[in-house]
Structure 1
């Protein structure tokens, strides 16, 4: 990708940050540690929509004003590759489950994607007081640097072990196998909140590695943050990651091959006895 054309995105970036932080005020004004989610699944899903809708409407209005030629994609769990051209990919409340349970692990996530490749990213996590940004070819701004660790046994790693957002049982099965493959060989494995913040914390050097099975556009924002911070992003087999990949791995550079080796057993063909 020719990043020489991205100087205009450096001018655009602070305006996107303003739009994201303003949209998040609706969430922060209504958030409390005393929140408790509805008792039924239908009630929880209805609560999700009530949170997402006003934030998405604000972002769509402001981001369209900033980049009128860019399309809009509000389906963060979408699995089909985006068409050619520029699109805003937005998750109005990443970590809405945590929000509705009074937990402070949620964010607003925005990426500008050009021909399937993220070129601008903003993750704003108000309860944590953090905003992560990146522009392709111009680095990431986070309060840290990728971990210098090279030994998986010392790695603070994270993954997402919930049901696959697209309803793919195979991804859920692989996620379970991956935990058994990795956990005995690392310092610890955690699920520390929304995907956007966990991947952003790999960029910041707070986490050493994050992996996930399944295909979702929600990963585009974090992928740019990690790459621009000097980390490594591939699928779990070590191949280049795109929005067509069915797995995702982001690590500190010195840990990448070690995690690929650990995760290689998940998709290995079963052994047969003679």
Structure 2
């Protein structure tokens, strides 16, 4: 990909991960207006990433979870989540990550997700495949669901849905991590709820380049808009191989 230097972006994410690890296990979270958590690590990492992106790509826009919202009408816009899974981060759980996505003309174009506690880095660019630590990955397409087949679900799944599924569910606490585990073929699927552009901009590219689909749980939900304003992402969304979508829609039932 000639437009960006993937190794450079990986370096930004790894540096952000090192900064996050300095705070991990001894940081307090504060509630924002939407009741989600923010920590001093989130703010510091976003500030660092915004400075790096702005210096390297001054003509690009930037959308960050915490503060950055500049030039969103540009051809290229970076969507950054400094710590995706802040509640897990605050709780001392390891399933949080640094998510850096690049959107071109409103469509996902490049994504890189770094998991500092594991040392894993996922990345993908449109038309170039998806990779975990440099090795190609692909979504799972089993002929049948078994007892060890698992879904990544929200912690509040039981409040809104009944699930008819023979396997297991796991709660990772990070939208980006859920998408990565589907992309690598570890999880059969993920159910996302109330996602925002910075949560999914990177993961959308990684899942799609790994052969997966990201669609509303309810097939009647309109899917207009772009990766930066698609309101349908706030509705329940399935992430899985295309041939798994129909049976998964039948497995989830609203309470």
User: So what's the TM-score if we normalise by structure 1?
Assistant: 0.76
Cα distance between partner residues in 1 of 2:41 and 2:126: 30
1:230 alignment partner, SS class: coil
Q: Which residue of 2 aligns with 1:67?
A: 57
Provide the C-alpha distance between the structure 1 equivalents of 2:222 and 2:193, rounded to a whole number of angstroms.
Answer: 15
Rg larger in 1 or in 2? 1
Counterpart among 151, 155, 163 of residue 157 in structure 1 = 151
The aligned residue for residue 165 of structure 1 is none
Which one of the candidate residues 217, 223, 244 is aligned to 2:231?
244
Residue equivalent to 1:134: 124
In the alignment, the residues of structure 1 paired with residue 126 and residue 231 of structure 2 have an alpha-carbon distance, to the nearest angstrom, of: 20
CA gap 1:41/1:64 in 2 versus in 1, 3 angstroms: closer
1:210 is the counterpart of 2:190 = yes
8 Å CA contact 2:155, 2:173 repeated in 1: no
State the 1:55 CA deviation: 0.5
**Does the residue aligned with 2:231 lie in a helix, a strand or coil?**
coil
Q: For structure 1, which runs of at least 5 residues remain unmatched after alignment? A: 1-6, 163-173, 268-274
1:210 offset after TM fit, Å? 0.3
Corresponding position: 1:226 with 2:220: no
Q: 1:67-146, aligned counterparts within 5 Å?
A: 67-75=57-65, 83=73, 85-142=75-132, 144-146=137-139
Displacement, 1:153? 5.1
Change (3 A) 1:214 1:36: closer
Per-residue Cα deviation, 1:53-112 (whole angstroms, up to 9, x for no partner): 11111100111222221111112799xxx6463211111011121222222111110101
- Structure 2: segments with no counterpart, 5+ residues: none
Whole-angstrom distance in 2 between the partners of 1:47 and 1:266: 27
Cα distance in 2 between the residues matched to 1:248 and 1:91:
19
Higher strand share: 2
Are positions 1:257 and 2:246 aligned together?
A: yes
Post-superposition Cα deviations, 1:130-161, rounded to whole Å, max 9, x if no partner, equal: 10001011111125432131434553101223
Aligned positions, number: 237
Q: Distance in 2 between matches of 1:117 and 1:76?
A: 22
1:176 aligned onto 2:159: yes
Asked if the contact 1:95/1:107 (under 8 Å) is kept, the reply is yes
Is contact 2:100-2:201 (8 Å) kept?
A: no
Q: Deviations over 1:155-199 (max 9, x none)?
A: 31012235xxxxxxxxxxx87333x1x2x3230122123111111
Q: Please report how far the alpha carbon of residue 126 of structure 1 lies from its aligned counterpart in structure 2 after TM superposition.
A: 0.8
* Cα distance between partner residues in 2 of 1:261 and 1:66: 46
Shift of 1:47: 7.8
- TM-score w.r.t. the length of structure 2 is 0.81
